[in-house]
Amino acid sequence: MSRPLRVMMLGLRGFPGVQGGVETHAEQLCLRLVELGCEVTVLVRAPYQLAGTGPQWRGVKFVSLWAPKSKGLEAIIHSLLGVCYAAWKRPDILHIQAIGPAIVTLPARLLGLRVVVTHHGPDYDRQKWGRFARLALRTGERFGMRLAQGAIVISQVIADIVRRGHGRQPHVVPNGVVLPAMPADSGALAPFGLLPGRYVLLVSRLVPEKRHLDLVDAFERAALPGWKLAIVGASDHPDAYVSEVLARAGRDPRIVCTGLQTGAALAQLYAHAGMFVLPSSHEGLPIALLEALSYGLPVIASDIPANLEVGLPEQQYFPLGEVARLAEAMERVGRQPATAELVAERRAWVAARFDWDAVAAATMAVYREVRGRPGS
C-alpha cells in the first residue's frame, strides 16, 4: 500500500475562524484533500491562528510559525521561515497560496522542493500597497508563475495575466462554495438592531479596495425606507481608512459595523439579509459573493473582470465607482422581495458552477503531475 501524498500549505494566516479569502479557500481545500487521502500540514502565522484550534483540526495538521504582525513584513518573513521548515520536513508538495508569499519560490526550488503556487489575484493593484510592496508582489508573481513546477490560478482573468506576462498556461481551478443549511434562528441579528430581510449586507475586510464608502454613499442616497446597512468584517492592521469607514457609519444610525463574525452568527447574517452588495475595485474570484449566492441572496456587484467572471445576469452589475447607479440597483432589488423559488434557484445555480469537491480533485491532479515529473 503506497503512503499518502504529503502536502504542506504555506502563505495564509490560518483557519478556521480567520478572516480572508485565501484563508477560506485553503480551509475548504485542505479538508477535502484530507478526504482524498492526503496528509496535509498547514504552516500558520502565530499571531492569527486561534489558540483553541490546537495542532490538528478535522484531520488537518497545523504548525504555528512566528510572524511579525506587520502589514509589510509578516508574509515574507513567515514564508521564509516556512520554506526552511519545509526543507527540513521534505513534503511531497509545498503549496504556496498567493503571490506575496510566492516570492520564496526561488529558495524553495533551490532547496529541492516540489512547489505548486496558487495565484489568487494581482495583489499589486490593491490600494493599500506602496512602491516597494508592489515591487515585491510583482516579483512574487514572476517567481511563482515562472519557477513553480505547478501554477494554479483561480479565474480566467488571472490566467490571461499569467499568459501575457509570463508566457505560461496555468491550471484554472476556481474557488468553490459550500451549500449551507439555512438557519431558522435569527437571534444574532438582535444585538445589531437588524430585521430579517430588511438590511443590505457586505462581508469583507475593511480595506480600501472593497470600497465601503461607495456603499455607504449609495445606501444614504437610495430610497430604502426601514432598511439598514450591515458592514461585517474587520482589519488586521487598522489605519486611516478603517477610521474613516467607522466614522461615516457612526454618523448614520441605520449603518451598523458588526466587526468580524464567524460561525453561526455569520450564517444568520447571510441567511436573513435582504441583499448582498460587493462594490470592490479588486478581487480574485470573490468567495464572499459566492457565499451570498449560496444563501440564495439577491446580489449586486461592481463590473470589474473578476466579478463579471462569476456570470451573474447583466442587471446585477453596476459600473465601478458610480454611486448613483449602485443606489438605483439597490432600490430595484429592495422593491422585489425574494421568494422561496428564487432563493432555491440561486442556491442551485451557484452550487452547480462552483464546487469545492471539483476544486480539490483538480488540485490533486496538479499535485500528481508535479510529483510524477522527472527531475522536478
For the chain, 376 residues long, the average pLDDT of each consecutive 10-residue run is: 89 93 96 98 95 95 93 90 98 97 98 98 79 90 98 96 96 94 93 97 95 98 97 89 95 96 95 97 93 97 96 96 98 90 95 95 97 69
- Rounded Cα distance, 151 and 125, in Å: 20
- CATH architecture for residues 6-176+355-372: 3-Layer(aba) Sandwich (3.40)
In eight-state DSSP terms, residue 126 is S
CA pair distance 326, 222, nearest whole angstrom: 9
Helix intervals (H) in 148-187: 156-166
Angle at 283 between CA 156 and CA 104, to 5 degrees: 80
**Kind and range of the H or E element at 231?**
strand 228-232
Q: According to the model, what pLDDT value does residue 129 have?
A: 73
CB count in 10 Å sphere of residue 277: 28
Residue corresponding to grid cell 450564517: 267
CATH 3.40.50.2000 residue ranges for the chain: 6-176+355-372, 187-353
Give the contacts of 23 (CB within 8 A, at least 6 positions apart): 12, 13, 14, 15
What residues contact 253, with CB distance under 8 A and at least 6 apart? none
Q: Omega before 107 cis (within 30°)? A: no
Is the CB of residue 324 less than 8 Å from the CB of residue 145?
no
3-class secondary structure, 252: coil
What is the distance between the alpha carbons of residues 78 and 101, in angstroms, rounded to a whole number?
A: 8
> What is the architecture of the domain spanning 187-353?
3-Layer(aba) Sandwich (3.40)
Per-residue pLDDT tens digits for 174-196: 999 989 999 989 999 999 999 99
Instruction: Tell me if 258 sits within 8 A of 212, measured CB to CB.
Output: no
Instruction: Specify whether the CB–CB gap between 132 and 140 falls below 8 A.
Output: no
SS3 (DSSP) at 316: helix
Contact 224, 335 (CB under 8 A): no
Per-residue pLDDT at 132: 86
* Ramachandran area for residue 112 (φ above 0: left; ψ -120 to 50: alpha; else beta): left
**CA nearest to 205, candidates 150, 123, 141, 118:** 123
pLDDT digits (tens, 9 = 90+) for 241-252: 999 999 999 999
What pLDDT shows up at residue 376? 54
According to DSSP, the β-strands at 150-153 and 199-203 are unpaired
How many helical (H) and strand (E) elements, i.e. helices and strands, does the chain have?
Answer: 13, 14
Separation CA 287–CA 235 (nearest Å)? 17
